[in-house]
Amino acid sequence: MSKIPQIKEYEGYPVVTAEKMKYLDLKASTEYGVPQIALMENAGKGISLEILRIIKEELSLETGNSGIIVCAGRGNNGGDGLVTARYLKQAGARVEIFIIPPREGAYGELVNENLQKAKENGIRIETVSRENVEGLLEIFSKADVLIDALLGAGSIGKPSGPVKRVIQLMNKSAKPIAAVDIPSGLSPDTGHHSGVFIMAKWTFTLGFPKSGLMASHALKNVGKLKIIDIGYPAQLVEEAKQQ
């Protein structure tokens, strides 16, 4: 069994496992009254500001001339990506969303709400299917930045189906990839992968750094790591440090 890296702190934040992150997320809403939808909104806004900075400072592009593609999963990581897309669109960037279809015919409440908001903001949204997936490589190759919002810290197992193929095509495009929370396909706890994973240039991890992102063998796939403040109460952050 792969070991969890023993680094306890990163940039003043406690390093957490996926299980600990789930606990803190739940506690933020149940004990501190911070709605999950607010955490998702803060995540997307924070990531969008980082992407806008990258466009200007690292890619030397004007926002209005930048093309960004968000690849969104069916879960809350995808929801974070949808919010990110909305803020980027509002800032003037050219944004497209390719989203993985839901398993049971409908997305969860948070994803569905932000999908509707993205549509209201005039963002082109296309559902990934067997018929269109192979054509994504050409589309990805014309973008300036790809955003990986496919799988988050709560995902288990090897990516499969359309998610697997989208990951492969994102990497094949050779375009710079920004990962939301963790690069899809990497274990949030150990940083290991099962052969299908995103090779990110930047990773914007949400709330607290995940232990797998600290692993030396994962660094080349994580790229530049930045913690995004998503609005956890200061008391919760302090509590996480003590545990």
Q: Which domains does the chain have, with CATH numbers?
A: 20-242 (3.40.50.10260)
Which residues lie across from 240 on neighbouring strands? Answer: none
Contacts of 132 (CB under 8 A, 6+ apart): 126
Which residues lie across from 13 on neighbouring strands? Answer: 10
| Four-residue CA torsion sign, 30, 189, 177, 136 | negative
d(CA 193, CA 171): 15
Indicate the pTM of the whole model.
Answer: 0.96
**Would you give per-residue pLDDT tens digits along the chain (243 residues)?**
467 767 889 998 999 999 999 999 999 999 999 999 999 999 999 999 999 999 999 999 999 999 999 999 999 999 999 999 999 999 999 999 999 999 888 999 999 999 999 999 999 999 999 999 999 999 999 999 999 999 999 888 899 999 999 999 999 999 999 999 999 999 999 999 989 999 999 999 999 999 999 999 999 999 999 999 999 999 999 999 887
| DSSP state at residue 36 | H
The SS3 of residue 145 is: strand
Distances (CA, A) of 189 to 127, 186, 192, 241: 30, 9, 8, 17
